[in-house]
Chains A and B, each alone.
Chain A
Amino acid sequence: MPHLLILGAASDIAQATAYSFAKHGFHLTLAARNVDRLETLKNDLVIKHSIQVELKEFDACDFASHLSFYQSLISPPDVAMVCFGYLGDANKFGKDFEEAHKIIDVNLTGAVSICDILANDFEERQSGTIIGISSVAGDRGRKGNYTYGAAKAAYRTYLSGLRQRLFSANVHVLDVRPGFIATQMTAGLQAPQLLVAYPDRVGEDIYKAFARNRNVCYTPWFWFWIMQIIKFIPEPIFKRMNIR
């Protein structure tokens, strides 16, 4: 049975994806901080899908622990999804460097740290898929979340290069770019109701993109077109706009 490793399993998107993959017969390793909290989730997945689920403690920002974490897995995964993230508090932008540091550490440095380890192992085994969750925020910096957007933009460039490096080793890299999804991370933020999507939908989209060997997946699909328009706006106009 194929094995999916989810890093950052406490996130709503991670959990929705766990159910999507479980429905298709994947065994799961769910990695997160305070992973004991996920016992009920694990039990629910096992009851619903008759799969094996393992819980492992994992801290995205404890870079030194990443290699030993990966080596301690009972079996190497066939698919690994990097799902942890930190949006940050927009009110602190420019005022609190610790906040910016944390955004970059979680969304970029931590992601690169674990992805390097995944890449090396998958390359050696000449198989596997790495799924990285970037964001539409990485398409263009906006005043509402530019530090987060910068980290995500850097991460997607990393994923793109990684994809090219690993192609000859038969390892695939999927870059998932969610739009505005109603999750713990975005709770309290305002967005036009028509644009808001829910984690279940994203979980299904990620599975489909994986099954079709896509390179990039905007979820929901219409965010590709929204961001094409956003990216197309000339800078002298964009800088005057009030898009958060």
Chain B
Amino acid sequence: MSQWHPQTLRNWGNFPTIDGESTLPRYEDEWAPLLSENTSIGIQGQHRSYGDAGLWTKSIHTHQWNKILSFSPTESLITCQSGITFDELLQFLVPRGFFLPVTPGTKFVSLGGAIAANVHGKNHHKEGSLAQFIQSIDVRVNATTTLTCSPDNYQDLFWSTCGGMGLTGIIDQATLKLKPIPTSFIRQVQHKTTNLDETLEAFDRYQDWTYSVAWIDCLARGDQLGRSLLMCGEHAQVEELSERCKSNALKTHATPKLSIPCFAPKALLNGTTMKLFNQFYYHSQQSSKTPRIVHYEPFFYPLDKIKHWNRLYGRPGFIQYQCLLPLSQGKAALTSILQTTAKLQQGSFLAVLKRFGKEELVSPLSFPGEGYTLALDFKQSDTLKDLCLQLNDIVQNHQGKIYLAKDALTPEQTFKTMYPDWNQINQVRQKYFVANIQSLQAQRLNIIA
């Protein structure tokens, strides 16, 4: 029988936090009683969303629901319980010559969480979001029923679950299509730009590269607005490796050794330190003359080297503001947003710009679409809500939307305008008698009927 234990529940941004209780099921027979209780329930994986996504006072955690159920190297397929992390998957897959088809900027996410947020990666412009690579999902809709859904079976449940923020049922297990790789190294090039026009032009020029992402200096102003470092990569072939690397061509990543042991003083990351960091980082980097060979870890997961880096923002925490701007509006919207953040000197040293490709999905709450996505970390402050409202106005005026997996402050009406098909979540919940799964975010945005 699962035990409930009091816990302060939070996501990666440490804002908001709530006092609640959690439980950690390990065995099949524990689920039915959990879903039969006459209270609403939340579900969380690794708590790597930022705002209030998935947070609820009674929360089922999936850390122990993490086993591999089957693996077929010939078909490039793996089936796992939803609590398995991308970290655990890579440890298993890389030595066997496989990589994840889509990965966000950290490997410490659960498969279930990644599906619920329909994560995207540096290869979205060429290969799409995670949902494109999910062959099937077993969704535990209530205490007595688990449905295996796919693009051919219970399609509405499948597409609502991808990007559905966990509201369509418990993602129990999923089958993922894998990417065969020749080595665990990446051929990387880096291109430095001096303004936004050059940055957007560079994304076009390098669009044939499988992986691309830009670090953007969100505090630069005037004619340096939008200056960036664009990084592009391809999986390296064996012949490209040095002799030393060739001897372990499918080397996996190491466990992080560094960790921030406690919350830093909230004054540590301020306008001055961020500006200094951005100046230093921008000027210390150069465009590549020739490609470099790097391991996948620093290319895909540079921040994973430091555990608990989120504590650098102090106990009050931070949010990540991530928006999608349609292609035709991209330059105008980005200019407006960057001018706003630079003028207010509100910004972060982690500002990421990616180009998205077309998305053909029919997920009501899924985020990616053709255009640009900009992600900015903002420290918690009294002016943060106003800043987000200003940015939301810009995004809305350019027919863009925000990413629910990062959101903490968007008002209900803004969200419903950005996601006009949001009510399909309720239609699916009613149709399949989905249990009373809730989250603070769903409550704030008034998603659940």
Contact = CB atoms under 8 A, between A and B. Distances in A.
Contact of A47 (B6, B24, B70): B70
B3 A44 contact: no
Interface string A24-51: 0000000000000100110110011000
A43 B261 CA distance: 36
Contact of A43 (B26, B67, B92): B67
B276 interface: no
A47 B71 contact: yes
Nearest to A188: B5
Given A37-B27, A37-B29, A48 B68 contact: yes
A187 B3 contact: yes
Nearest to B4: A188
B69 A43 contact: yes
Given A187-B3, A187-B5, A188-B5, A44 B68 contact: yes
A132 B419 CA distance: 58
A47 B261 contact: no
Interface string A170-184: 000000000000001
> In terms of DSSP, what is the predominant structure of the interface of chain B?
mixed
Interface string A192-208: 00100000000000000
Interface in B67-92: 67-71, 81, 92
Contact of B261 (A37, A44, A194): A194
Interface residues of A, number: 11
Contacts of B27: 37
A41 B26 CA distance: 10
Contacts of A184: 3, 24, 26
B306 to A, nearest CB: 17
Contacts of B71: 47
A44 B67 contact: yes
Nearest to B261: A194
Given A48-B92, A187-B24, A194-B261, A40 B67 contact: yes
Contacts, number: 30
Contacts of A44: 67-69
Contacts of B92: 48
Contacts of A48: 68, 92
A47 B5 contact: no
Nearest to B88: A48
B8 to A, nearest CB: 12
A82 B426 CA distance: 50
A40 B5 contact: no
A153 to B, nearest CB: 27
Nearest to B64: A12
B29 A40 contact: no
Contacts of B28: 37, 40
A156 B261 CA distance: 34
Contacts of A40: 28, 67, 69, 81
Given A37-B27, A37-B29, A48-B92, A188 B68 contact: no
Interface string B55-71: 00000000000011111
A203 B369 CA distance: 44
A41 B67 CA distance: 7
B91 to A, nearest CB: 9
A40 B6 CA distance: 28
Interface in B272-323: none
B68 A47 contact: yes
A4 B71 CA distance: 25
Contacts of A43: 67-69
Nearest to A42: B67
Contacts of B5: 187-188
Contacts of B81: 40
A40 B79 CA distance: 12
Contacts of A37: 26-29
A12 to B, nearest CB: 8
A43 B28 CA distance: 14
A84 B68 CA distance: 25
A47 B66 CA distance: 13
Contacts of B69: 40, 43-44
A73 to B, nearest CB: 24
A28 to B, nearest CB: 15
A41 to B, nearest CB: 7
Nearest to A40: B67
B385 to A, nearest CB: 31
A40 B81 CA distance: 10
A40 B27 CA distance: 9
A236 B71 CA distance: 61
A187 B63 CA distance: 14
A98 B81 CA distance: 38
Interface string B13-47: 00000000000101111000000000000000000
5 contacts: A37-B27, A37-B28, A43-B68, A43-B69, A48-B92
Interface of A: 37, 40-41, 43-44, 47-48, 184, 187-188, 194
Given A37-B26, A40-B69, 9 more contacts: A40-B28, A40-B67, A40-B81, A43-B68, A44-B67, A47-B68, A187-B5, A188-B3, A188-B5
Closest 10 A-B residue pairs measured CB to CB? A44-B67, A188-B5, A37-B27, A40-B67, A47-B68, A44-B68, A187-B5, A47-B71, A48-B92, A187-B3
